[in-house]
Each structure stands twice: as C-alpha cells, then as structure tokens.
Structure 1
Amino acid sequence: MKINSTLYTLLFILGLGCFIPSELSAQDPHFSQFYSSPLQMNPALTGVFPGEYRFTANYRTQNYAVLGNQAYKSIAASFESRRPVGRDDYYSVGVAVLRDQVGESQFSQSRAVLSGSYLKQVGSGRSRGSGQFLIGGAQLGVAQWSYDWNELWFSEQFDVTDNRNPFINFAASNGEALSAMETDIFMEFNAGVLYYNVIDEDNSFYLGGAIHHLTEPNVSFLDDQSEKLYRRWVGQAGGQISLTREASLLPAVALMGQGPSFLGIGGLNLRYSNRDWREVAIRAGLWGRVAKQGESGMGLDAMVVSAILEVERWQFGLSYDVTVSDLSSANNSRGAFELSMIYVHPSKERFKVICPKF
C-alpha cells in the first residue's frame, strides 16, 4: 500500500505541470541535471541533505557543434552547512556562485549569493526515519553582466573599397554608441519554499517553488536607460518509488518561466543500490525538455540521457542533451554535455537527518 500511495501522489503532483500556462525558453542559465544543482533551483533546498555539509559543482557546455569554442559554458558551485535547532528542526547557511559565458562577444553573467533556510518538522511518520518537513529559504547577493564589444564587427566596418577583396576594418569606427562593457553590479534576491514527506527509507515525495530576481534589477549597459531583468519562477516536484529492496524510481519535473520564456524538463532516473554499509549505487535516466520555440510555440527541444554513480559520500553525474527541435539540422542533434559532482560530509549527530533522494 505504501508504494501505491506514493505512486498516486507523485503522479498527481507531476500532472500539475500540464496546467501551467505555456505562454512563457528560460533566459537564465539552466542545468539539465537540475536535481544536482539545488541552490541554482530553489533557496529552500539549502541544507536538504543527510549530512553535516555539502559541496556541489556543475559544468555545462551547449551547442559546441554550432558555435565551436564560443559555445555556451556554464559553471556553478555551492557549499552548505546545517545546524540543529532542538531535536527536529534545523537552520542552514551556504554560498552559491555561477558564471555563464557565450559567443564571440564573450557575453557573461556572473553572480554570487549567500543562501539560508529554516527546516521545520511539521509531522512525524509511522516508521523510524520518516516525517514531513516544510522549508523556507532565501538568497541575497550580487551579480553583473558583461561583454567585450571589441571582439565584434559592425556593418560600418565592412570595407568594400576593393570589390575583389572586401575586408573588415577593425580600425574604422563602428558607428555605435558603445562605451560600457559591463552593467552596474546589481543586487540579487531570491526566495523559495519546499515541502517533503519521507514515508519510509525508500519512498518519498517533494513539492517546491521559488522566485528569482524579486527586485527585477536594471541590467542595461547604457547609463541613461533601464532594462529590467524579468523575475524567474520555478516549480519542482518529484520523489522516490521503491520497486524492490535494491531498485527504485526517482521521477522529477522542473518548470521555469521568465518573462515571455518557458522551459520544462521531466523524466526519471532508475536507481540500483548494493544496500551495503558502504553503499554504492548507480542511476540511469531519460528526460524530455520542452521550451517555447519562437513563433512556432511550445515544442519538444531535447531528450536528455543521464548516468550517475554514488560512492559513499560522493555522487558523480554525466548527461547529454540530444537535440530534437529544428536546431538538430544545424548541430546534428549534438546539444549539450553536462557534468555534476556532489560531496556530502556525514553528520556527527546521533540521529540521522530525514531527507528525500533527489
């Protein structure tokens, strides 16, 4: 009965994604292994892990087949630590950084935030190692956008004096009113909530959401103009469904909207564990990503295959995006390559922290 109950609950939560408006292709960088980049997804995920502290690192390169060395590159890292409040509640603090760069102009987004959360137990379970928790989290930090317009050329610099040998004259004026190559440093403020229910050691589900760029900061490169950065909302759900003592399913979905853009990714990992005191586990998964694709509207953008190795305190992830949209004719379906690494240091507390698997 526990397995069926968990399955029905997860199907209901994941089905909520069908009712999210599809009028909203995310402008912020994103990771296909969203379940392995917690602080980039939701501040409320700060401290949600079964240990004393956690270090996470992510790397993604996208569209190398089209852009070559100028392809999208995203690097993120975070560190969190958790402390108890009484016996069942916890507070957590951490720091997260991100840098994303693309194109010949070396356009980049850089940000660093302090992250904090409070984890409150709102219900106990019937078995040991079970319970329900509600977490609220927030992030505060700084960010900046930059580019190098000296690496670009404009039509005014196209010299056709010699029709047989036209060339780009980088010494000529580009005719553009360009001065600043970076925005002012602006504040980042993000907030989120998360609820999860650990039914037993092998069955759980969670549901959460967050809003990023709450203050809609000005990201204009021109001093006398304003260009607001759209707020980005995030919705996520998932859990664990036990199949046998060694095998379980880890379904999840993440939805993101930012201004007119929308992106959604969902699927599952199949996890197999040796159930030893020195646990080793492997995961293999398949995911689908949908996005708004210009005037053609919503469509399937990519299929993502993933593989994860868990060795005691370490988790290593590898995934590859196979493009299935119209872009596949240009990049031969070679989309993105992604790596993740998570290290969780075990807690010295007598009672193990109750957390779901992501």
Structure 2
Amino acid sequence: MKIKIYIVLLFITFFNEVKAQDPVFTQSLIIPETLNPGFTGAASSWNAGIIHRRQWPEGNRRIDTQYAFANNLVTDNLGLGITILNQRETFTDYNYFQFNGVASYRIDLNYRWRLRLGLEGGFGRKDFNFRNLLLEDQINVNDGSISGSSIDPGFLRYNSQINFVDFSFGVLVDEENAWFGASLKHLTRPDITFLENGNAPLDLFLSVHGGYYFTLDNSPSMLLPADTDLLVSINYMRQSQFNRLDIGTSVEMNMFSFGVIAATNPEGRNTNSHLITSLNPYVTMRAGEFKFGYSYDVNTSKFGHNQGIHELTLTWQSSYTCRDCDNYRMKLKDIKW
C-alpha cells in the first residue's frame, strides 16, 4: 500500500511541475463557449448545451470530462450566462470542478462587423481524494484490522483539496460569414499546488481562433441541398511549453454537418514529435431546437493502444423573439454567421 501512495505522490509532484493543462474539446466549434467568453449571448436567444468527453477509455487511463453552459442576450448588447466544467481521472481519482459566471458586451463597429468583449470568472476546486487511500501504518499486521488515519509524514505534507478563484477574458470580431477571436484564461494565476507551503501558479492558457464560411455551388449537378456551406477553421492554443494548432473543415447543411479536424504540433521540440497528432472526424444532426454531435479522435502518434477519444454533444437553442433581427445570423452556422 505504501508503494501506491508514493506512486500517487510522484504523480502529484509531476503534476505540479507541468502546472496542469486545461481540457481541450474537439467539438469547440459546436460549443464555442469553451473557447471564448465573447460567444456568450451571441445567439440572441436562450442557448444551452453539454459535452461529455471520454479520453483513452481502456482501463485505468480513462479521463472523463463534462462541460455545460447556458446563456442569453438580456439586453440589445449584454449577454449573461453560466458554465460548469468537471473532469475526473480514473488512475489517481483526481477531480477538477469549476463553476463560472460569464458576461459579454457587443459593440457594433459598422453595418457589417461586430466586436464582442467577454469576461468569465468563478470558483474552482481540485481534489485528489487522499482519504480513499490505505497506507501501511493503518493496517494491524496481527489481526488485519484498519486504524482510523495515517501518520505517514510524506502523506501529511499534502492537502487533499484546493480551492481557488479564476478569471478569463476574451475578444471576438464577427460578421455574417466570418469570426476571429482570442481568449486568455487564468488571469489571476491561481495557486494549484497540493503542498502545504508550495507555490504552483496555474499557467495562462491562450487561444487564438477563427473561421470562414464559403458558399458552395448548389447546382443540381453538385447534389447539394440549398444553403450548403464549407467551413474552414483554425484554433491555436498555448499553455506553458505546450502548444497545439487545430485546422478543421466541414460541410454545413440545414440538418447535418460532416467535418474533420487535424490536431497538429507546430513547434515540435524533439525528434520524436509528430506534426499531426490526431485526426478527429465529427458529425452533427439537428432535430427541431436540438442539435446532436459525435466525434472520435484517431491518434496518429506512437502513444500506443488507447482506443482514441469519444465526445458527445447536445445543444438547445430556443426559438427567436425578434429583439435585434440583424444579429440573429450568429452562432457557428446554427443561425448562420
């Protein structure tokens, strides 16, 4: 049992060194609130959704992540909402939970372009659940009984739970067929160390993203329904020494969309780095006010047998009530940019 706790504490030491990486969602195009608080209220109606992500589902390596949101445009320019993030790792029983409030403000630059400023902040908690571990000094070797708590000095140096306050900021510029934005998370650099007297500020998370819709030839020879577009998107992310560039394309139709995203490592730091780390196809289907999505990340590196990453999304957008009709063409083709 003592070996187990040392393995866990070794993992925590490594965790503190890399300062932790934020969860990244494949279907951030479907739920862009995961990228930028500036998207809050962009649909000009009630908008809500949830993502469930299962990473490396085989055995003890599994990581489950859930993200939920709800928002609305409460005035002609002000959007308000909430977001919830939860992540659990099977091997360590590590859990990360965060609840945030979000506000965005829209500024009309001209008849075509809009500027949106977003601020997100709230409460976060990280928990390793050390109370579930059984150490050697808790076991009576004579009769096999278990005592109440451990006095192992290595164990006592660590807190099982840490709480923090966190803020993020985003800016977004959009028009009918294009958007460009950037966000910076963890502006307060909260301390996330589990050591009593440690100091491990959470690294800033930068995301720079954009997309553009191209109208396809909808002639009968193309066998495409009316109002079919091709979406091209990019999303560059950096946190500490880690970086990633997602390049995606999809065909967007009224009820269905099909696409693929290539996750790349543009700044390979050693000879074993892969330029393309995964290929992530996804499909969505609309049914009334609801939209369903599924994606599967196919690993292209030498990570080993891991059964990929599965992601499910469900979003809901209420019918419009015309407060500002020229702003309804928003929300990643759900309303059409």
Q: Place the TM-score, normalised by the shorter chain, in its bin.
A: 0.7 to 0.9
1:43: Cα distance to partner?
A: 0.8
How far apart in 2 are the matches of 1:59 and 1:114?
A: 20
Code of the residue aligned with 2:67 in structure 1: it is A
Code of the residue aligned with 1:232 in structure 2: it is F
1:338: Cα distance to partner?
A: 0.3
Residues 91-102 of structure 1: matches in 2 within 5 Å? 91-102=78-89
How far apart in 2 are the matches of 1:173 and 1:330?
A: 39
Q: Which runs of 5+ in 1 are unaligned?
A: 1-23, 125-130, 158-170, 199-203, 274-280
1:247: Cα distance to partner?
A: 1.6
1:179-234, Cα deviation, whole Å (9 max, x unpaired): 42111x21111001000121xxxxx0110000000011101112211111001011
Q: Is it true that 1:39 corresponds to 2:17 in the alignment? A: no
How far apart in 2 are the matches of 1:64 and 1:109?
A: 18
Structure 2 counterpart of 1:74, from 62, 65, 78: 65
Q: Is it true that 1:241 corresponds to 2:214 in the alignment? A: yes
Q: Which runs of 5+ in 2 are unaligned?
A: 1-17, 138-148, 219-225, 333-337
- 1:144 equivalent in structure 2: 125
8 Å CA contact 1:115, 1:137 repeated in 2: yes
8 Å CA contact 2:69, 2:81 repeated in 1: yes
- 2:6 equivalent in structure 1: none
- 1:286 equivalent in structure 2: 260
How far apart in 1 are the matches of 2:37 and 2:289?
A: 23
- 2:178 equivalent in structure 1: 205
Count residues in correspondence. 295
Residues 141-220 of structure 1: matches in 2 within 5 Å? 141-149=122-130, 176-178=154-156, 179-183=158-162, 185-198=163-176, 204-220=177-193
- 1:160 equivalent in structure 2: none
Call closer, same or farther: CA 1:172–1:189 in 2, change over 3 Å.
Answer: closer
How far apart in 2 are the matches of 1:71 and 1:293?
A: 26
How far apart in 2 are the matches of 1:351 and 1:34?
A: 26
8 Å CA contact 1:153, 1:174 repeated in 2: no
1:174: Cα distance to partner?
A: 6.0
Give the RMSD, CA atoms, in angstroms: 2.7
Scaled by the length of structure 1, what TM-score is found? 0.76
Code of the residue aligned with 2:69 in structure 1: it is S
Q: Comparing 343-352 with 108-117, which one deviates more in the overlay?
A: 343-352
How far apart in 2 are the matches of 1:84 and 1:307?
A: 33
Q: Which has the higher contact order (CA 8 A, sep 6+)?
A: 1
Scaled by the length of structure 2, what TM-score is found? 0.80
Identical residues among aligned pairs (%)? 20
Call closer, same or farther: CA 1:25–1:225 in 2, change over 3 Å.
Answer: closer
Local SS of the residue matching 1:30: coil
